[in-house]
Structure 1
């Protein structure tokens, strides 16, 4: 099964797994999004994550993670479910992709969502993150991220 693009898909549901302490002593958090095309995906890190072939094992794993995941808070559901993914912003440091960061998904309601996957207990907030335009600008500036749009900067470079 090919995942040709996240862009243009509607988020039908979202579930997550949280582990207070993994084998390395870190908190762990992962979200799984059910899209309108029936696929379950996670947040991409690399541009190649947007266009790749999902093998049977990958599809089964993602479906299982979604099926066994917890529902997100109702307030978050209202802001995410039913929204179209309009663009994907990948995090860069200089000219290199920051492979420690998940991409931001820009939704049709002008909100951005991403997640933080790992962090020390009591120090880092591992969670799903929802931002408006202003918060997105502040966060990416404070973290020194150089977000690049998949549609504007990567897929159709000038």
Structure 2
């Protein structure tokens, strides 16, 4: 495969915090990418538990075993981030059919804004993670619930510590 045919993919999200569902999509996307960029979005309209640098650190803790994966943060449009990083694929995880309509709108918008340079690939969530969301994790953490089923073991203490501060 010459460099013009390389698959440089971006898997983007807020990751507040990263869940086992996010990690599953990242691992699967890494299998078909020559390079995978995990893009951590900073949406100024959202209130986060972890700031951008903390979210980046949490993601990095969870992917130490993966090769050809880079973690970056960004503000602004995903499509601009993708083009700035010379990527050609956006990878999005889908948990339910209800996610598809919104994600399809985003995919078509990104393709149009990129002048047809960027494609979106949808990966269905793995069955064991379909119900997972970062907001569910935060709720469980706030109430002192067990987190090992929802998030990677390496970040449980970070999330528990933050939950105590958020009460």
Scaled to the shorter chain, the TM-score interval is under 0.3
- Could you state the TM-score of these two structures normalised by the residue count of structure 2? 0.25
Structure having the higher strand fraction is 1
- Could you state the TM-score of these two structures normalised by the residue count of structure 1? 0.26
Q: In terms of Rg, which structure is larger?
A: 2
